[in-house]
C-alpha cells in the first residue's frame, strides 16, 4: 500500500459537526426544525439499512426525520398520493423516496411528482436541468460527495483529466457535468460498457472515478502510477462490501484512493443533510 487513503468516514463526521452548528443556529433564528420525509416502499434489506443510517445522521445534526413505510404491494396511486401530501405539508422541507422502487411502480413518474423545492436527491428533471445549466438549487448527493471529498483533501480538478467510468443518471452523468463546469474546470472523459479499449482510456486519468456496480472491476494495470482513484461502487459480495476497484492491487500504484466502505458513501449521506438544511432555509427565507 503506497497510496494515501481518502478517508470519507472521518471527513463526513467532521462535516456533520459543522452542520450541527449551522442547524442549531438556523433553528434558533427561525424557530423551524429542518425536516426530512423518507419514503421506504417494500422490504429490501439494503434499503432498510440505508434509510436507518440516513435517519441516524439526521438525528446527529438536529434535523428531524419522518419515516413513511409502505408495503411491497403499494400501488402507483397510493405512492403518488403520499408524495402529494408531503409536497403540500409546510412542516416537510425535504422528500427522499428511497430507490429502487418495486417493479409495479413507475420510478420516473414518482420522482417527477416530488416538488422540485423539496427534491433533496436532485433527481427531478427540473433540478437536473438546472444543474446542467450551472444554476443548481440542489446538487445530487453522490456527485457532490465526490467533489467535496477531493476539495477537502486539497486535490484540485482544474485542468486535470478526469475519467469517469459509468454514465448513470445518479452518478456518472451528473458528476461528469459538474466536473467540467467552471470552478471545477476538469477535462472530462466518460467511459461506459461500450467503450473500446477501456484500459487505454483509464490510464490517461489524473483522477479516475468509477461508478458501475461491478466488484473489483478496475485492476492495477488500468491505473496510471500516482493517479487519484475514487471508488463509488457499493457491491455486496460473499467477501463482504467491496467497491468497483480492486483495492489491494490498485492501492499499490495509485497516489490517492478511497476505501469501500468508508469512502464516498458516508459523504453521500452528508450531502443529503446539507440539501435538507438548504431546503428549510429556502422555505423559511433565511
Ligand atoms: N433516493 C435515493 N437516494 C440515494 O441517495 C440512494 C438511493 N435512493 N438508493 C440507494 C443508493 C445508495 N446510496 C448509498 C448511500 C450511502 C452509502 C454508505 O453510507 N455506505 C457506507 C457503508 C454502508 C453499508 O454498510 O452499506 C460506506 O460506503 O462506508 C451507501 C449507499 C444512496 N442511494
What are 2-36's pLDDT values in tens digits? 999 999 999 999 999 999 999 999 999 999 999 99
Mean of all residue pLDDT scores within the chain:
97
What are 232-267's pLDDT values in tens digits? 999 999 999 999 999 999 999 999 999 999 999 999
Indicate if ligand 1 lies below 6 Å from the C-beta of 98.
yes
Indicate if ligand 1 lies below 6 Å from the C-beta of 97.
yes
| Structural domains of the chain, ranges and CATH numbers in brackets | 31-115 (3.40.50.10860), 141-265 (3.40.50.720)
What 8-state DSSP symbol labels residue 114? S
Residues 6+ apart with CB under 8 A from 257: 3, 4, 5, 6, 228, 229, 231, 245, 247, 250, 251
Specify the DSSP element, H or E, that contains 109: helix 107-113
C-alpha to C-alpha distance for 248 and 75, rounded to whole angstroms: 45
C-alpha to C-alpha distance for 113 and 221, rounded to whole angstroms: 45
Indicate if ligand 1 lies below 6 Å from the C-beta of 269.
yes
Consult the annotation and say whether 114 binds a ligand.
no
pTM here?
0.97
Q: Which one is catalytic: 119, 121, 206, 246?
A: 121
* Residue 104 designated active-site: no
* Residue 98 designated active-site: yes
Consult the annotation and say whether 234 binds a ligand.
yes
C-alpha to C-alpha distance for 228 and 256, rounded to whole angstroms: 5
* Residue 22 designated active-site: no
The three cell numbers locating residue 196: 473500446
| Shortest-distance atom of ligand 1 to CA 141 | 5
| pLDDT higher than threshold 90 for residue 79 | yes
C-alpha to C-alpha distance for 87 and 91, rounded to whole angstroms: 10
Work out whether strand 35-41 and strand 94-97 pair parallel, antiparallel, or are unpaired: parallel
Strands in 256-257's sheet, in edge-to-edge order, are 4-5, 256-257, 228-231, 207-210, 161-165, 187-191
Specify the DSSP element, H or E, that contains 29: helix 8-30
C-alpha to C-alpha distance for 207 and 143, rounded to whole angstroms: 14
- Range 200-230 burial, b when 16+ CB lie within 10 A, else e: ebbbebbbbbbbbeebbbbeeebbbeebbbb
Indicate if ligand 1 lies below 6 Å from the C-beta of 242.
no
**Residue 57 binned pLDDT confidence (cut-offs 50, 70, 90):** very high
What are 94-148's pLDDT values in tens digits? 999 999 999 999 999 999 999 999 999 999 999 999 999 999 999 999 999 999 9
Whether complex ipTM tops 0.90:
yes
Amino acid at each position: 500500500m503506497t497510496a494515501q487513503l481518502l478517508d470519507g468516514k472521518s471527513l463526513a463526521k467532521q462535516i456533520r459537526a459543522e452542520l450541527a452548528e449551522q442547524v442549531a443556529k438556523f433553528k434558533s433564528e427561525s424557530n423551524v426544525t429542518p425536516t426530512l420525509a423518507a419514503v421506504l416502499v417494500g422490504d429490501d434489506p439494503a434499503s432498510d439499512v440505508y434509510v436507518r443510517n440516513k435517519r441516524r445522521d439526521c438525528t446527529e445534526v438536529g434535523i428531524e426525520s419522518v419515516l413513511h413505510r409502505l408495503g411491497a404491494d403499494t400501488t402507483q396511486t397510493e405512492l403518488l398520493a403520499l408524495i402529494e401530501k408531503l409536497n403540500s405539508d409546510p412542516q416537510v422541507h425535504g422528500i427522499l423516496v428511497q430507490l429502487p422502487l418495486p417493479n409495479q411502480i413507475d420510478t420516473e413518474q414518482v420522482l417527477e411528482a416530488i416538488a422540485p423545492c423539496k427534491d433533496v436527491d436532485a433527481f427531478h428533471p427540473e433540478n437536473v436541468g438546472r444543474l446542467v445549466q450551472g444554476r443548481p438549487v440542489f446538487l445530487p448527493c453522490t456527485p457532490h460527495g465526490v467533489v467535496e471529498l477531493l476539495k477537502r483533501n486539497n486535490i484540485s480538478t482544474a485542468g486535470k483529466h478526469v475519467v469517469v467510468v459509468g454514465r448513470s443518471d445518479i452518478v456518472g452523468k451528473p458528476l461528469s457535468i459538474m466536473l467540467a463546469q467552471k470552478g471545477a474546470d476538469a477535462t472530462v472523459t466518460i467511459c461506459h460498457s461500450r467503450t473500446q479499449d477501456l484500459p487505454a482510456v483509464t490510464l490517461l486519468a489524473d483522477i479516475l472515478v468509477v461508478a458501475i456496480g461491478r466488484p473489483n472491476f478496475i485492476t492495477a494495470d488500468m491505473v496510471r502510477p500516482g493517479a487519484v482513484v475514487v471508488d463509488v461502487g457499493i457491491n455486496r459480495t460473499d467477501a463482504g462490501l467491496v467497491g468497483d476497484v480492486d483495492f489491494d492491487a490498485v492501492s499499490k500504484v495509485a497516489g490517492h484512493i478511497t476505501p469501500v466502505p468508508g469512502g464516498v458513501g458516508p459523504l453521500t449521506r452528508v450531502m443529503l443533510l446539507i440539501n435538507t438544511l438548504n431546503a428549510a432555509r429556502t422555505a423559511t427565507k433565511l
